[in-house]
Amino acid sequence: MSTASFSAPPRPSLGKRLLANGFVRTVLGILTVLVPMSVVLALSEIVPKPWRTGWPFLLAAAAIVACYRFYVRKVEKRDVAELTWPGAGGELGAGIGLGAALMVACSTLLLAGGVYTYTGTAHWSALLVPLPEQVFVAFMEEILFRAVLFRLLERSWGTSVALAVSGALFVAAHLPSEHISVLGMLATAAASTALSAGYIATRRLWVPVGMHFAWNYLFDAVFSIPVSGHAARGWIQVTASGPEWLSGGGYGVEGSIVAVLAWSAAAIVLVLLARRRGQWLAKP
């Protein structure tokens, strides 16, 4: 009768154990977004103001995407499936179409109800001014809140908990606006759920990026209505009147009950789609 000797596998190094930790990965993921953004925007201040129109936002967006790809490959050791190019055009177009449909539905109702009143148009160049910034916002917020926070929370706690926690963080990020209201928080929470559900249904970022961009850009650049409390600079000039719960007040369209209902409807549809596709994950 022979005796076999067994040796325990070597213990992973401290560095590898840290990089496998969910909390450490979340912190690194957040830094992957915030550091390149801050560096690019800070360095652009060196350039004289007339020469830094638009491009710093596009460069910051590109830096965030590049650094996120680097983080996923080096830390998580996998392909960046959520940002691959094949099929991106169709998914981005679908997201833009859905975001535009939500914007048109809200605008039509508010115009028909006399809450918004057309007052004129600005120069057509107003359509171009917000474009780089809204591209940056869409990529920055979707990578931060969907690709990093939601995705990594989901790995540890499942889809339902990740949806609630990342939604609460998304709302918290909008609280510094002096015009925030209860309806504004509800609309922001509903939007977070819809955007996350768009990611869950496809397991890619292009649909939520398109939705986020279309909603922000069309109100900011085309229809000149404040979004999340930020002053609009758009082409079609509109004034708002009536009760704040309907007009949104200083917070803009996202402070209106109409936006709450529109984003809630989108969230329900996308959550049902994600569940139908079997993408809803239980807690591991």
- Span 56-74, pLDDT tens digits: 999 999 999 999 999 999 9
Provide the pLDDT confidence category of residue 5 given band limits of 50, 70 and 90.
low
**Does 17 reside within a domain?**
no
Lowest mean pLDDT among 124-128, 146-150, 192-196: 124-128
Instruction: Inform me whether the pLDDT recorded for 131 exceeds 60.
Output: yes
As a whole-number percent, the residues of the chain with pLDDT over 70 amount to 95
- Span 152-162, pLDDT tens digits: 999 999 999 99
Instruction: Inform me whether the pLDDT recorded for 4 exceeds 80.
Output: no
Provide the pLDDT confidence category of residue 284 given band limits of 50, 70 and 90.
confident
Provide the pLDDT confidence category of residue 269 given band limits of 50, 70 and 90.
very high
For range 201-205, the mean pLDDT = 97
Tally the domains of the chain: 1
Residue numbers of the domain that contains 250: 86-276
**Does 208 reside within a domain?**
yes
**Does 181 reside within a domain?**
yes
pLDDT given for residue 105 in this prediction = 97
pLDDT given for residue 76 in this prediction = 93
Instruction: Inform me whether the pLDDT recorded for 272 exceeds 90.
Output: yes
| Model confidence, pTM | 0.92
pLDDT given for residue 9 in this prediction = 65
pLDDT given for residue 275 in this prediction = 97
Give dist(CA 276, CA 50) in Å, integer: 51
Provide the pLDDT confidence category of residue 16 given band limits of 50, 70 and 90.
confident
| Average pLDDT over the chain, rounded to an integer | 92
**Does 140 reside within a domain?**
yes
**DSSP line for 29-90:** HHHHHHHHHHHHHHHHTTS-GGG-SSHHHHHHHHHHHHHHHHHIIIII-S--GGG-STTHHH
pLDDT given for residue 178 in this prediction = 84
**Does 249 reside within a domain?**
yes
**Does 218 reside within a domain?**
yes
pLDDT given for residue 15 in this prediction = 66
H or E element in which residue 236 lies: strand 236-240
pLDDT given for residue 186 in this prediction = 97
For range 237-259, the mean pLDDT = 92
**Does 15 reside within a domain?**
no
**Does 269 reside within a domain?**
yes
For range 184-201, the mean pLDDT = 98
